[in-house]
């Protein structure tokens, strides 16, 4: 759904909630004072409100808006005929007028027609007030009903004037969070959860521009005999090996270091604020940890080792630095694997 549809759904749902709360109070009130004609009118309005929730849930906004406006008009006219207008029942129409301006359930032309009907209903109230005697006298209950109607109009107006902006603020916040989440998904490898090569491009651009601290070492890590593991135990086992290695890297290195899934069984590691000798010791500790560990998956036990090439990172020649670490890694492969080369 686009933002306009989200707004329409939310504000229509709130309107339904407001209407059903109003009708619930009214049918209880009229039952309490034994005003049965208006009790049944209010009960019918309550049942229609349940229908309005159903219409909104299915996106039938035009019938929702027309029927809601119609039930309010019928309720107002029935109240005026039965107990008169001293209870300020006209405020229901004023709240419904505001609804036409705030809830875009139909085209402007349709809502303008509804506004015309609401205006005619107000004129009818004046005629009823001066030319018809109410069918029933509810005595002091008139004051209680008028007090309820005043509060209904007051809070209904406040809600309608403020809820629109609140809904838009919520939609904007939701969209911003969704955008950040989608960016995160676009920048991470779905299998390992590590940063991917796409994010590396952004990271290195910031590094080159001086937006990130400059002192790093870069290392290329490759899983030894990964193709053999895949061919022997299957790709699912290979995926588990990749997750095991990525977890081992992130748990062994420092929080300031950055790890990328570079492609296949290769991982690019950036070690912050260390010289090559220190980077070598950190990486060799990681290598030794993997060498001594046994990976057990689905009754399969395997020893997984890695070969790593490491060098200092030149922020103005990043590609060349990565290629150097890659060459050093392949040198380690030629020397027998399971080694860190600097």
**Model confidence at 1: pLDDT above 60:** no
Distance CA(120)–CA(134), nearest Å, equals: 20
* Helices and strands: H and E segment counts in the chain: 11, 7
Backbone angles phi, psi at 14, to 5 degrees: -65, -40
Distance CA(223)–CA(329), nearest Å, equals: 11
Closest to 328 (Cα-Cα) out of 292, 290, 289, 279: 279
Residue with tokens 């029935």: 78
Closest to 67 (Cα-Cα) out of 51, 78, 83: 51
Give the pLDDT confidence score for residue 205 in this predicted structure: 87
Q: What is the DSSP letter of 195?
A: B
How would you write 105-166 as a 3-class SS string? CCCHHHHHHHHHHHHHHHHHHHHHHHHCCCCCCCCCHHHHHHHHHHHHHHHHHHHHHHHHHH
pTM listed for this prediction: 0.55
Catalytic residues: 265
Distance CA(36)–CA(335), nearest Å, equals: 96
Q: pLDDT per residue over 183-200, tens digit each?
A: 566 788 889 888 888 888
The domain spans of the chain are 3-182, 197-341
The C-alpha angle with vertex 98 and arms to 154 and 5, in degrees rounded to 5, equals: 115
Q: pLDDT per residue over 122-152, tens digit each?
A: 999 999 988 889 999 999 999 999 999 899 8
Which tokens hold the place of 261? Answer: 């899934």
Distance CA(46)–CA(28), nearest Å, equals: 11
Topology of 197-341 in CATH?
Alpha-Beta Plaits (3.30.70)
Q: pLDDT per residue over 16-59, tens digit each?
A: 998 999 999 998 999 999 999 999 999 999 999 999 999 999 99
CB 167 within 8 A of CB 10: yes
Give the CA dihedral 163, 166, 170, 173, nearest 10 degrees: 160
Provide the CA 265 distance to its chain's centre, in angstroms: 34
């Amino acid at each position: 759904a686009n933002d306009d549809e989200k707004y329409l759904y939310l504000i229509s749902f709130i309107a339904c909630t407001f209407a059903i709360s109003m009708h619930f109070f009214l049918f209880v009130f009229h039952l309490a004072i034994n005003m049965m004609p208006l009790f049944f009118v209010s009960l019918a309005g309550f049942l229609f409100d349940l229908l309005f929730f159903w219409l909104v849930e299915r996106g039938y906004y035009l019938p929702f808006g027309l029927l809601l406006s119609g039930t309010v008009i019928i309720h107002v006219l029935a109240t005026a005929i039965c107990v008169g207008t001293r209870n300020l029942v006209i405020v229901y129409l004023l709240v419904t007028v505001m609804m036409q301006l705030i809830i875009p359930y139909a085209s402007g032309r349709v809502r303008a027609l509804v506004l015309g009907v609401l205006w005619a209903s107000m004129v009818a109230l004046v005629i009823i007030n001066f030319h018809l005697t109410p069918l029933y006298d509810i005595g002091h209950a008139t004051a209680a009903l008028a007090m309820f109607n005043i509060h209904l109009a007051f809070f209904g107006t406040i809600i309608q004037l403020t809820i629109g902006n609140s809904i838009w603020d919520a939609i904007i916040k939701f969209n911003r969070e969704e955008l950040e989440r989608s960016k995160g998904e676009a920048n991470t490898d779905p299998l390992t959860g590590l940063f991917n090569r796409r994010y590396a491009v952004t990271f290195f651009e910031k590094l080159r521009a001086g937006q990130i601290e400059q002192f790093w070492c870069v290392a290329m890590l490759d899983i030894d005999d990964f193709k053999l593991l895949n061919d022997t135990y299957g790709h699912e086992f290979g995926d588990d090996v990749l997750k095991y290695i990525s977890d081992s890297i992130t748990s062994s290195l420092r929080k300031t270091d950055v790890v990328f899934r570079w492609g296949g069984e290769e991982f690019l590691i950036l070690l912050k604020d260390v010289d090559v000798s220190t980077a070598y010791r950190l990486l060799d500790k990681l290598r030794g940890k993997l060498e001594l560990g046994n990976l057990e998956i689905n009754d399969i036990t395997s020893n997984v080792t890695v070969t790593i090439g490491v060098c200092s990172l030149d922020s103005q020649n990043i590609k060349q630095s990565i290629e150097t670490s890659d060459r050093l890694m392949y040198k380690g492969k030629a020397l027998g694997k399971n080694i860190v080369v600097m």
